[in-house]
């Protein structure tokens, strides 16, 4: 007990101060982070903290260094300079879609690995109970209390919630992991990560392999999570729903904003306006001073002119605004007239050894913008490849109009030679185009000058997607078939692509999970 009331109050004050400091203590501290590549600086001297319970979205243009930042935070890439300090004992989990896992596990067995330590405790408890020894039984009862505390007997319920929420139950929990597609495997790895409930989650584009329903489910899980997470995503609606803070990677800096994604956009726009005003104001002042110096460098006011020159020499000049412009996509249209139906699909069965979907019947009118939606892994990409003749139909018929000229954007970014640069790749595809013309079209597609001469394999997914879109822009088409074209694109590029498709007078057959993208773009929707 405390000897005096004053001593008790002082002790309570010390405790409250300690408690506040604990709450304020960062779980991640980044100091003086510098990372560059031979041809560009990603960030220089960047500093930020992440605190307990913060939900942080990482945003920036394609190629700005968002995924690189995650690699640095995870320790898989060493920065050129700076310190990354995680709080001692913190558990960090990240979504690694390419992780080495035992493919002979069933999905259920793999997910139960998230609770491996609890299952081991249960086994120990059962052995203690079986011994019949009074001391062992006491130890067993303590283990049981711990298991109850960790909701051990609710594991099956937790697994059911996650597998249903991510759509894993649709392909069966007894399915072997080695038989899963890339998207299915990524879902299972994400499910195990969510079940493990680490202190911090690090996620790079987790919605790319999810459809709308499962994105909504994941969004609600993350929004209500008490743990912290750091998330890279180009899905603005998703970001706005789940984040409390934004890390903006731009202009060689990383700046942290408080608030939702929409709040960040407002703050950033305000800062950009303020910056532009300050720059304009300073430029006006510089011009006026230089004019005065020119006018008075000789004569009675020469001493004042020299003084102003010295002031001008010492002035810390504001760099000109370099706010990025959005890409300018414009599809070349084939003049061949197509009327009536551009595509007719009758009793079509798609799949490999057996059908993935029931018989499909639909028509796409000339000039129509038609979207196909449905759960991830249900067979949307297979359907497009079957329509294009890349996969043989199991039954039914596909008829294109006579004068149809197709341009196809494939979800998987496959290149003939990834060691080529974007300039070499496009020139190789369109040999009549000069170097100057190719550089101009790549620039219009939003590919920055420093990326044009870099090997494609070193570019981000967003930059690679822009190279593929550039290839599509140079084709003369009247029918575009696009499979998830926005998966890797930043906000500016997505907006530019949507505007280009809205002005395209040809037919568009689109597969997309982003309702915000195809809303106000497509006239009809086929839900699989």
Residue 223, phi then psi, degrees to nearest 5: -60, -40
218 with 299, same domain: the answer is: no
The stretch 505-527 carries a mean pLDDT of 90
Q: Say how far apart CA 228 and CA 56 lie, in whole Å.
A: 8
Within 10 Å of residue 381's Cβ, how many Cβ atoms? 20
The pLDDT value given to residue 133 = 83
214 with 273, same domain: the answer is: no
Output the average pLDDT for the chain.
Answer: 86
68 with 25, same domain: the answer is: yes
Grade residue 15 by pLDDT with cuts at 50, 70 and 90. Answer: very low
End-to-end Cα spacing for the chain: 70
The stretch 443-467 carries a mean pLDDT of 86
What is the full DSSP assignment across 164-175?
HHTTGGGG-TTS
- Print the domain residue range for 504: 332-527
Check pLDDT > 80 for residue 474: yes
488 with 475, same domain: the answer is: yes
The pLDDT value given to residue 28 = 94
Grade residue 331 by pLDDT with cuts at 50, 70 and 90. Answer: very high
450 with 353, same domain: the answer is: yes
The pLDDT value given to residue 453 = 86
* Count of structural domains within the chain: 4
Domain boundary among 136, 157, 192: 192
Pick from 519, 472, 517, 520: nearest CA to 496: 517
What is the full DSSP assignment across 136-195?
HHHHHHHHHHHHHHTTGGGHHHHHHHHHHHTTGGGG-TTSBGGG--HHHHHHHHHHHHHH
181 with 249, same domain: the answer is: no
Check pLDDT > 60 for residue 13: no
CATH number, domain with residue 59 = 3.40.50.300
Q: Say how far apart CA 259 and CA 243 lie, in whole Å.
A: 7
- Is residue 371 within 8 Å of residue 211, measured between CB atoms? no
- Is residue 177 within 8 Å of residue 111, measured between CB atoms? no
Question: What sign does the CA torsion over 526, 361, 209, 356 have?
Answer: positive
Does residue 326 belong to any structural domain of this protein?
Answer: no
Q: Say how far apart CA 363 and CA 397 lie, in whole Å.
A: 12
Does residue 520 belong to any structural domain of this protein?
Answer: yes
352 with 467, same domain: the answer is: yes
Domain boundary among 171, 192, 213: 192
320 Cβ contact partners less than 8 Å away, ≥ 6 residues apart:
279
182 with 169, same domain: the answer is: yes
When mean pLDDT is compared across 9-18, 182-191, 355-364, the lowest value belongs to 9-18
Does residue 173 belong to any structural domain of this protein?
Answer: yes
> What's the Cα-to-Cα distance from 101 to each of 107, 167, 176, 377, 463, rounded to whole Å?
11, 20, 11, 20, 30
DSSP for residue 207: T
29 with 124, same domain: the answer is: no
Pick from 136, 194, 196, 142: nearest CA to 164: 194
44 with 128, same domain: the answer is: no
The stretch 491-495 carries a mean pLDDT of 87
Angle at 440 between CA 434 and CA 446, to 5 degrees: 140
Q: Say how far apart CA 309 and CA 526 lie, in whole Å.
A: 69
Residue 60, phi then psi, degrees to nearest 5: 155, 165
- Segment 406-433, tens digit of pLDDT: 999 998 888 878 888 999 989 888 888 8
Does residue 497 belong to any structural domain of this protein?
Answer: yes
350 with 456, same domain: the answer is: yes
- Give the whole-number percent of the chain exceeding pLDDT 90: 44
- Segment 95-125, tens digit of pLDDT: 876 677 887 889 999 999 999 999 889 998 9
31 with 49, same domain: the answer is: yes
What is the full DSSP assignment across 62-121?
TTSSHHHHHHHHHTSS--SEEEEEEPTT--EEE--TT----TTSBHHHHHHGGGHHHHHH
């Amino acid at each position: 007990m405390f000897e005096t009331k004053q001593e008790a109050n002082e002790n309570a004050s010390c405790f409250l101060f300690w408690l506040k400091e604990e709450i304020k203590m960062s779980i991640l501290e980044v100091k003086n982070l510098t990372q560059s590549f031979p041809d560009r600086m990603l960030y220089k001297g960047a500093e930020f903290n992440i605190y307990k319970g913060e939900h942080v979205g990482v945003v920036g243009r394609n190629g700005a260094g968002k995924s690189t930042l995650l690699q640095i935070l995870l320790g898989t890439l060493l920065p050129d300079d700076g310190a990354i300090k995680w709080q001692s004992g913190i558990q960090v989990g990240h979504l690694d879609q390419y992780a080495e896992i035992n493919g002979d596990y069933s999905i259920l067995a793999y997910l139960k690995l998230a609770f491996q330590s609890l299952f081991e405790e249960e086994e120990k408890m059962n052995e203690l109970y079986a011994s019949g020894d009074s001391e062992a039984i006491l130890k067993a009862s303590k283990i049981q209390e711990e298991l109850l505390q960790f909701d051990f007997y609710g594991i099956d319920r937790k697994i059911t919630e996650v597998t249903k929420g991510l759509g894993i139950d649709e392909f069966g929990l007894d399915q072997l992991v080695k038989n899963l597609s890339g998207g299915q495997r990524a879902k299972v790895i994400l499910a195990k990560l969510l079940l493990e409930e680490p202190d911090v989650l690090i996620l790079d584009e987790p919605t790319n392999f999810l459809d709308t329903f499962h994105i909504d489910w994941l969004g609600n899980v993350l929004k209500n999570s008490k743990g912290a997470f750091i998330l890279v995503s180009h899905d603005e609606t998703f970001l706005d729903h789940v984040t409390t803070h934004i890390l903006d990677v731009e202009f060689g800096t990383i700046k942290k904003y408080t608030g939702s994604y929409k709040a960040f956009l407002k703050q950033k726009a305000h800062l950009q306006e303020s910056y532009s005003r300050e720059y304009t104001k300073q430029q006006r002042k510089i011009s006026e001073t230089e004019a005065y110096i020119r006018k008075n460098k000789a004569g009675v006011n020469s001493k004042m002119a020299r003084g102003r020159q010295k002031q001008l020499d010492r002035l810390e000049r504001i760099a000109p605004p370099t706010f990025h412009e959005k890409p300018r996509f414009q599809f070349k249209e084939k003049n061949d007239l197509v009327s009536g139906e551009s595509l007719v699909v009758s009793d079509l069965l798609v799949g490999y050894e057996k059908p993935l979907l029931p018989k499909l019947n639909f028509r796409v009118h000339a000039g129509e913008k038609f979207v196909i939606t449905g759960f991830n892994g249900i067979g949307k990409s297979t359907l497009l490849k079957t329509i294009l003749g890349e996969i043989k139909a199991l039954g039914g018929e596909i008829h294109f109009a006579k004068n149809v000229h197709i341009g196809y954007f494939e979800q998987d970014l496959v290149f003939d030679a990834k060691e080529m640069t974007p300039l070499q790749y496009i020139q190789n595809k369109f040999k009549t185009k000069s170097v100057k013309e190719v550089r101009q079209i790549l620039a219009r597609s939003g590919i920055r000058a420093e990326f044009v001469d870099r090997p494609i394999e070193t570019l981000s997914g967003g930059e690679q997607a822009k190279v593929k879109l550039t290839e599509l822009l140079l084709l003369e088409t009247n029918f575009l078939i696009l499979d998830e074209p926005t998966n890797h694109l930043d906000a500016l590029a997505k907006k530019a692509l949507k505007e280009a498709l809205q002005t395209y007078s040809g037919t568009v057959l689109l597969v997309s999970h982003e309702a915000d993208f195809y809303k106000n773009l497509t006239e009809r929707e086929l839900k699989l």
